A and B are shown apart, each in its own frame.
Chain A
Amino acid sequence: MFSSRLFNILIPVISVVMGLIVGAIIMLSFGYNPIEGYVALWNGAFGNMYFLGETIRQSTPLILTGLSIAFAFRSGLFNIGAEGQVFIGWVAAVWVGINFDLPLVIHVPLAILIASLAGGFWGFIPGLLKATRGVHEVIVTIMMNYIALHVTNYMIRNVLSENGDTSERIKETASLRSDGLTELFGYSQVHWGFIIALILALFMWFLLEKTTIGYELRAVGYNKHAAHYSGMSVKRNIMMAMIIAGAFAGVAGAMEGLGTFGYMYTHASYTNLGFDGIAVALLGANTAIGSVLAAILFGALKVGALRMPPLAGVPTELVDIVIAVIIFFVASSYIIRWVLLRFKKGER
């Protein structure tokens, strides 16, 4: 028998490989050369320091939204609201970045802290409604996404600018970019946020696996009746899980505001960071380390895809198909599990 740990590693790996194979078949059937396509993808993601920097930059918010969704999942909740929490975190970080004059060592942490509190507040509302009134968090978080989109657009036009479509730039003391880092990575948009994302991944792992808080959250996620029976407050844990999940996504927004862009612009629709986070969490088996690895893969696919049209003539839409196929195989991990078990049985 396979151990469950081996299973958890094998399934996403096989999913990715299957996704790449099916992607190759699709490229072939449309008359493109899949080897050229994948070489362009690889070089476009890791080919030189510039592309590596771009991949890291793209992965950073995905790690955090992945953590947000994984964390909620582990506590038995489905946080569709990471999207909205990203918006709120982004606008909060930019607001602090513009309106305070502080030394760097205080300004950056303060902006990130306020972003996490704002995202946490955006998660708290559905958590509160779920805990006290039993309203399903999926419904509320979807609605909260719309509210976040339009509230931030209003804020940008009326508070962070004078009727403009972009906010003012944040002060240099709030920026996550640094000249040395930019130069090292070939003048890409990479910023220090990647380190923050890794630290928060470590934090999530520690909180969930090593503390009594995580013990309670996971118990509530697995079986809330048993959690209640053994004296844990199910309501408090639901609210806490949503606040922490919201805070992770809020920090993802701060990464965009303080790192990638340095300002915020009005959005016509979602950033998709929150929705991609669902796929990241799924591929990462809802673990911290898994989310980090899955986010890097997604970031690499997204950044590398940009080089496929000029170098191999493959349209970017195809990369979206490859990503979709990978998610498809992860979601149908049951099939892979079944095939593996069959295979194992055949060996006996």
Chain B
Amino acid sequence: MIRNRAARLPVFTALIALALMLVSPGVIAEDKSDDPEYWLQRLGPALTKTSYRGVFVYARGDQVSSMQVAHRYRDGMVEERLVMQDGQIGEIVRKGMNVICVLPALGRMELNNVIPSGPFAEAFTNQLMPVDRWYRPEITGRDRIAGHDVVRLALNARDSLRYSHQLWLEESTGLPLKGKVLSISGDVLEYFHFTSLTISDNLADHEFMVQSEGREVYRTLAPQSSVKPEESMEGWTLGWRPNGFQPAAAPRSGSGQAVAFSDGLASFSVFVEAAAGAGMPSGASKIGATTVYMRRLEKNAEDFLVTVVGEIPLETALKVAQSVDIEDSVVLGARVP
């Protein structure tokens, strides 16, 4: 009997091991769903590769607006259509790198700048930004948004140089259905919130076609590699920036230069150019989470305008703007002496 029991033991152990192997994928999946890192990693692909249509509201300061959006990913290409639901009718349709903007009332809108997820988007979301170094990620619960089960992810800033964020991520795809930006004291500065949402791989072609009448503007997006952020800082230097903010994009900026920085969640842009004529006034303004700070800077008897725009606290914007130094005024469009 004893011998029999001893002989049976390895069989029993093997059965236990086999059972654990069969069970473990489920266990791991369950563990992952409580792991904020797992959700952070899903975020980038979810934004690009999920196909959906819906309506969301967006609020900042005392402005609230409603927008309808359709997004699909097919044959490696992003197609999007965004229709403003309030005020003047307008829509933006993107198919891969081609963008059509129909803006009957806003003739002055610069198409280059309203493209919602331009050529930087894919490149950026592929970057592995160590968001958890600057924010404390935490799953704070589960909820339901626009009829979908969501996971609530809090990203609390680890310092006072940036705002905290909260995201409500759809459970099956990781798509953010609600987002808030919070001040250091916990006040909501801005938010978006889907009020209706359909996730489907079968969105009809006509949902991605221009449907309103008006002035159409066509544009093909330039490849991202045309200007590197570092190259755009020629002629000026930034002496300080909050930890974690890396150059992420080099936008066009008239005669001057501009660089955008991001820490993976928040971003700010620094514009530097020669101040023409009476120029711009100096000072700060805020709406929602967005801060604008403009500062005049004199170098070699030439005036320059430094502007910082971003979803960062005023104090951070001030420090960034004050750390800008002009090295070569000619590069920045100043008159040649």
Q: Do A and B bind each other?
A: no
Residues of A within 8 A of B (CB): none
Residues of B within 8 A of A (CB): none
